[in-house]
């Protein structure tokens, strides 16, 4: 639950605790103030009392929560939170996108061939982001799990045909039409054609489930990587995020994170550990990079 709240509100550790405390204090103070106010009104117990009480606490709550958030240093979070509720209830007009913020929008396409757990985490991470948007999910496999995620998350999809990808325009037309700024490979198992690499210089990222330069290259993906790590009896593995060049798992390394390989690990248990590491690292690294350019 806490992990979901962290992702939804884009806050971490201590700030999450302070926010939850602010909600708790705000709720209690609102209830207390509401009852005090009700004592001053000539309304008898009954349905009218309940309706009036609900109206009073609905008005009091945003005022009280904003007031409490100031000394707790959370006014920035709560002013946006209250505003969002106002927009949902159609009491407040949504902010119009100024031309400036439109120009600054960073549009991401995710390319994936498999289950799509990384794609899911990236979508969640940027769901309410001010400027970064996941606008396309492309896959070379029409039955890939990632496409179901795209449908669930309302992200448009693109099925990649081998002929067009490698011998046609590599989907440059579609990517340009969608104004894609960055391509994020998340378990995409085809080599990226040179035409795409040249059109997105240093704007294509890949994640690999091992510590490159070890265990990379053609045919090294998913379980095969973990099986090779176990066969070599390594005592650590990890993940690598790198720019994509014209060789498999080869471009400049951006970030790596390590995890232990345990004596009783199977390829599945190691894969699970690596996946959790990927889910933490990839969205954060993407945000750092795309926000900088």
List residues with catalytic annotation.
Answer: 208
Residue nearest to ligand GAR (CB): 187
- In whole angstroms, how close is the CB of 172 to ligand GAR at the nearest point? 22
Residue 240: which region, alpha, beta or left (left: phi > 0; alpha: psi -120 to 50)? beta
DSSP state of 23: H
Nearer to ligand GAR, 116 or 251 (CB): 116
> What would you measure as the largest C-alpha separation in the chain, in angstroms?
80
- In whole angstroms, how close is the CB of 156 to ligand GAR at the nearest point? 19
- Mention every residue, 6+ apart, whose C-beta is less than 8 A from residue 73: 18
What are the strands of the beta sheet with 204-208, ordered from one edge? Answer: 157-159, 132-139, 106-111, 182-185, 204-208, 236-243, 253-260
163 near 171, Cβ under 8 Å?
no
- Mention every residue, 6+ apart, whose C-beta is less than 8 A from residue 128: 8, 10
- In whole angstroms, how close is the CB of 114 to ligand GAR at the nearest point? 3
Note the residues at the interface with ligand GAR (CB under 6 A): 112, 114-119, 186-187, 207-209, 221-222, 225, 249, 275, 278
- In whole angstroms, how close is the CB of 180 to ligand GAR at the nearest point? 19
């Amino acid at each position: 639950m806490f992990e979901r709240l962290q992702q939804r509100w884009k806050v971490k550790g201590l700030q999450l605790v302070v926010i939850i405390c602010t909600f708790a204090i705000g709720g209690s103070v609102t209830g207390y103030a509401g009852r005090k106010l009700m004592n001053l009104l000539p309304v008898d117990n009954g349905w009218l009392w309940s309706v009036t009480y609900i109206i009073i606490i609905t008005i009091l709550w945003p005022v009280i929560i904003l007031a409490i958030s100031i000394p707790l240093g959370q006014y920035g979070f709560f002013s946006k939170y209250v505003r969002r509720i106002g927009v949902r209830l159609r009491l407040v007009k949504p902010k119009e996108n100024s031309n400036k913020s439109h120009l600054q929008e960073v549009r991401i396409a995710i390319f994936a061939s498999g289950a799509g757990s990384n794609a899911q985490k990236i979508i969640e991470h940027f769901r309410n982001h001010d400027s970064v948007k996941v606008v396309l999910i492309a896959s070379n496999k029409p039955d890939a799990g990632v496409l179901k995620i795209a449908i669930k998350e309302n992200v448009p999809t693109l099925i990649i045909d081998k002929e067009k990808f490698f011998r046609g325009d590599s989907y440059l037309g579609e990517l340009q039409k969608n104004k894609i700024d960055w391509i994020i490979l998340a378990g995409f198992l085809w080599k990226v054609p040179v035409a795409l690499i040249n059109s997105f210089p240093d704007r294509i990222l890949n994640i690999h489930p091992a510590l490159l330069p070890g265990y990379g290259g053609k045919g090294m993906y998913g379980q095969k990587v973990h099986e090779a790590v176990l066969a070599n009896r390594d005592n650590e593995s990890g993940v690598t995020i790198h720019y994509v060049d014209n060789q498999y798992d080869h471009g400049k390394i951006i970030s790596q994170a390590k995890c232990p390989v345990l004596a009783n690990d199977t390829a599945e248990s190691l894969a699970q550990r690596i996946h959790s590491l990927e889910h933490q690292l990839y969205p954060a690294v993407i945000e750092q990079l795309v926000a900088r350019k």
